[in-house]
A and B are shown apart, each in its own frame.
Chain A
Amino acid sequence: MIILEQILNGVQFGLTLFLMSAGLTLIFGIMGVINLAHGSLYMIGAYAAALTAVRTGSVWLALVGGLAAAALGGIVIEFAVVRRLYARNHLDQVLATFALVLIINQGANMLLGRQPLFVAMPPALSGSVTLLPGLTYPVYRLLVIAVGATVAAGLFAMIHGTRIGMLVRAGATHRQMVRALGVNVALLYTAVFGIGALLAGLAGVIAGPITSVQVGMGEQVLILAFVVVVIGGLGSVRGAFFGAIAAGLVDTLSRAFLPTLFRQIMDGSNADALASGMSAISIYLLMALVLLMRSQDLLAEKS
């Protein structure tokens, strides 16, 4: 039963990662931009939702506020900074978006103080339910799973069923072609960046009640989200989905079961410390293996 619960935990963590990485992979796939400020959009979503909730007391307004702020933030960033960087190389993009991270983080400190923010859990979602005999699970985490799955389904539908989706698919593989087809590229880019920001904001809003809403919260998940994007294949939303679930499972399961495993071969405290280090490494090991296997495939194809 504990294994089942840990698998559920892994899937849930994976789906939170998916919300972050879906936006990243879209932005990268369409525009070829490495956006380090994606974590800041996540933070903006969480902050805005927390502040709206305190002011209005409404969960729904908080959700709307968080999403709107993140999307708006994304559009402003695209319009003011990222738009001027499409033609530049990855290095300039990295430097510019890193500068944005510094500005947004410290700006939040200056405006709202250094304390973490209070976020209330909606009472209806604060309990646990019994799924199977012996397996109780928090309602909120079930909701996270539901939201993640819904967003994934919605994104697939959008990408495979709408005109924007078609352009997104085309853009991921033949970026120059889409430009050449006379599509209003500027508008498309702004829209995609806005959607990516919206997803990051949603991830932030959802994370609010279960993590600490504070400056720097975005960078904690940013690197993991990048890992997911790379595991899944750049520009592929479907890949990001499976990559996220895989990363979530590997991370959670290694944290859950490595200590027990190590304790059988060495003494307690050393085993725990080493297991904790190994579980941190596991997700990067997964990425390195995936990348190496993929490069082998490429080499095989070439020859």
Chain B
Amino acid sequence: MKSFNVAAMAVLAVQAAWAAPASAQDEVKIGVITSLSGPGGYLGQDIRDGIALAVQLGGGKLGGVPVQTIVEDDGAKPGQGKQIVDRLLKNDKVKIFTGIVFSNVAGATVPDVLDAGAFYVSPNAGPSTFAGKECHPNYFVVSWQNDSLHESAGQLANQLGYKSVYLVAANYQAGKDALEGFKRFYKGKVAGESFTRLDQTDFAAEFAQIRAAGPEAVFQFEPGGLGIAFLRQYQQAGLTDKIPMVVAAPSLDAVTLSVVGDAALGVNVTSHWNSDFDNPANKAFVAAWEQAYHRPATYYASQGYDTAMAIGAALKGVGGKLDDANAFRQAMMKADFQSVRGSFKFGPNRHPVQDWYALKVEKGADGKLALVTKSKILSDHGDAYAKECKF
């Protein structure tokens, strides 16, 4: 019988824990829900640190308004993200949320945020579900719509003149979307397709298929650790020199590059941002990042930073007052900040309209590998779902 009383006591203890973060009244609270534990931990870490850097450079303020960021780890679990949102909405009265890395966590948590009348500004995931018919006036995406990553890769494959491409993707929704996006823009022949498992560690079987199909190039969507294993094994299979690779940014970020080394040499990457972009905002960001964290900035970090800047611009526009949701919405839409990507604006469905670039992995003068920006592939590129969006 003790159990029930103790359960009640446990609830009380947790209440005490929740009550702890007290804050000054005039600070705007920003809920940063991100994935810090598990294999995808470094993505969440870079997003969090990108946001933190923007706040730090602003002296604890974004757009001149004092802010308090509440960072929570969702463990890449949808249920956990949902519970955190519930708590931050109801107990801490948070009105602005950001930080989610993975589409499936976003799918479970974002509807709760929007239904409560709060705002969500995405620094990473941009699933198609919220870009078309289900778009929402309080939902903004600073990073990209998932498909455009891969549309740009398809476009690059056209420009590089590859007549046949073999497609490989991890078997989950983002992987399937990736192939759809690539094929939407790619004009040549698809030599074959393979779906791999999310827990797969060995790609030898797929390589044999690729070799048998004999394509001119390979497009793969294997984010994070999967991509590391894929690139390493691709090189050992002797394919790196024979069949060139075209990928979108998630399959080869700065961290992947530093981990796989030579196996990434010569890979074609498409991205909306690169550390070598020549604009003042980016130069300041990259310098500040390296000074603060002593590690290379990834595009996740740049997205976290841009997200914070976008929120800051809107806060400035409404003078830190969140009571008028409509005013805040309009201030967000102006996107009145200097993006580290150069040109940036929101499209009608509040997803980005931006430029996409071709990058290539090359060896620098110091012998170190780097992602080097080559050319612009798409200008003012929006997404295919915007026309379905009606508020």
Chain B min CB distance to A147 (Å): 15
B212–A2 CB distance below 8 A: yes
User: Which residue in A105, A114, A117, A139 is a CB contact (below 8 Å) of B259?
Assistant: A117
CB neighbours of A176 from chain B (8 A): none
Asked if B258 is at the interface (CB within 8 A of a chain A CB), the reply is: yes
Q: Which of A117, A210, A253, A268 is within 8 Å of B229, CB to CB?
A: A210
Is the CB–CB distance between A121 and B228 below 8 Å? no
Q: Given the complex of chains A and B, what is the CA–CA distance between A246 and B291 in angstroms?
A: 52
B346 interface residue (CB < 8 Å to A): no
Query: Given that A215-B41, A277-B171 are known contacts, is A252 also in contact with B193, CB under 8 Å in the complex?
Result: no
Interchain CB contact under 8 A, B176 and A269: yes
| Contacting residue for B235 out of A113, A126, A136, CB 8 A | A126
Give 5 new A-B contacts, CB below 8 A, not counting A6-B205, A121-B235.
Answer: A126-B236, A212-B226, A253-B205, A276-B171, A276-B197
B36 adjacent to A114 (CB under 8 Å) = yes
CB distance from A104 to the nearest CB of B (A): 13
Q: By the criterion CB–CB under 8 Å, are A216 and B295 in contact? A: no
Instruction: Using known A-B contacts A109-B37, A116-B228, determine if residue A220 contacts B236 with beta carbons closer than 8 Å.
Output: no
Residue of A nearest to B44 (CB): A114
Assess whether B208 is in contact with A256, with CB atoms less than 8 Å apart: yes
- Asked if B277 is at the interface (CB within 8 A of a chain A CB), the reply is no
- Beyond A6-B205, A9-B208, A210-B236, is A276–B195 a contact (Cβ under 8 Å)? yes
Q: Quick check: B236 and A276 within 8 Å, CB to CB?
A: no
Q: Is the CB of B228 within 8 A of A212?
A: yes
- Assess whether A165 is interfacial by the CB under 8 Å rule: no
| B202 contacts A217, C-beta separation under 8 Å | no
Q: B238 contacts the other chain (Cβ, under 8 Å)?
A: yes
Top-4 shortest CB links A-B: A212-B225, A212-B228, A114-B41, A9-B204
Q: Which of B37, B193, B237, B295 contacts A272 (CB 8 A)?
A: B193
Q: How far is the CA of A2 from the CA of B255 in the complex (A)?
A: 34
- Decide if A64 is an interface residue (CB 8 Å cutoff): no
In the complex, are the beta carbons of A115 and B295 less than 8 A apart?
yes
**Quick one: which of B36, B202, B295 has the most chain A CB within 10 A?**
B202
**Nearest Cβ in chain B — how far from A109, in angstroms?**
6
Closest CB in chain B relative to A288 CB, distance in Å: 19
- The CA of A243 and the CA of B17, in the complex, are separated in Å by 49
Q: How many A-B residue pairs have CB under 8 A?
A: 128
Residues 162-181 of chain B, each 1 if its beta carbon lies under 8 Å from chain A, else 0: 00000000010000100100
Q: Does B158 contact A (CB under 8 A)?
A: no
Chain B CB within 8 A of A175 CB: no
A-B contact pairs, 6 of them (CB 8 A): A9-B205, A106-B37, A210-B202, A210-B232, A210-B236, A259-B195
Bound CA span A16–B258, Å:
26
Complex contacts, B211 vs chain A, CB 8 Å: 2
Of A5, A118, A141, A269, which one neighbours B236 at CB under 8 angstroms? A141
Contact A252 B205 (CB under 8 A): yes
User: B199 at the A/B interface (Cβ < 8 Å)?
Assistant: yes
Chain A: residues with CB nearer than 8 A to chain B? 2, 5-6, 9, 12-13, 16, 105-106, 109, 113-121, 126-128, 136, 138-141, 207, 209-217, 220-221, 252-253, 255-256, 259, 268-269, 272-273, 275-277, 279-280
Checking A6, A113, A276 against B196 with a beta-carbon cut-off of 8 angstroms, the contacting residue is: A276
Q: Which of B38, B237, B258 contacts A216 (CB 8 A)?
A: B38
Distance in angstroms from B224 CB to nearest chain A CB is: 8
In this complex, what residue of B is CB-closest to A13? B202
Q: Is A136 within 8 A of B258, CB to CB?
A: no
Asked if B104 is an interface residue, CB under 8 A from chain A, the answer is no
Q: Is B42 engaged at the interface, CB distance under 8 Å to the other chain?
A: yes
Q: In B36-52, which residues have CB < 8 Å from any A CB?
A: 36-39, 41-42, 45
Which residues on A sit within 8 Å (CB–CB) of B37? 105-106, 109
Complex alpha-carbon distance, A252 and B171, angstroms: 16
A211 to B263 alpha-carbon distance, docked (Å):
12
- Chain A residues with CB under 8 A of B238: 127-128, 136, 138
Closest to A128 in B: B238
CB neighbours (8 Å) of B295 from chain A are 115
Q: Are A273 and B176 in contact (CB under 8 A)?
A: yes
In contact, B199 and A220 (Cβ under 8 angstroms): yes
For the complex, give the distance between the alpha carbons of A215 and B42 in Å. Answer: 10
A46 to chain B, nearest CB (A): 12
A280 engages B197 (CB within 8 Å): yes
Chain A residues lying within 8 Å of B229, measured Cβ to Cβ, are 210-212
Q: Is B56 an interface residue (CB 8 A)?
A: no
- CB of A256 within 8 A of CB of B236, answer no
Q: A114 — which chain B residues lie within 8 A by C-beta?
A: 36, 41-42, 45
Contacts of B233 in A (CB 8 A): 138, 210
B194 on the A face (CB < 8 A): yes
Report Cα–Cα, A215/B232, bound state, in Å: 18
* B45 partner residues in chain A, CB cutoff 8 A: 114
Residue of A nearest to B42 (CB): A114
In the bound complex, residues from chain B placing their C-beta under 8 Å from that of A209 are 232, 236
Residues of chain B within 8 A of A120, CB atoms compared: 261
CB neighbours (8 Å) of B375 from chain A are none
> B237–A128 contact, CB under 8 A?
yes
Task: Check A115/B196 contact, CB under 8 A, given A138-B236, A211-B232.
Answer: no
Contact yes or no, B204 A217, CB < 8 A: no
Interface members, chain B 105-148 (any A CB < 8 Å): none
Within 8 A of A (CB), among B253-303: 255-256, 258-261, 263, 295
Tell whether, in the assembled complex, residue A217 and residue B225 are in contact, meaning their CB atoms are under 8 Å apart. Answer: yes
Give chain A nearest CB distance to B191 CB in angstroms: 12
Q: A215-B39, A252-B204 are in contact. Are A272 and B195 (CB under 8 A)?
A: yes
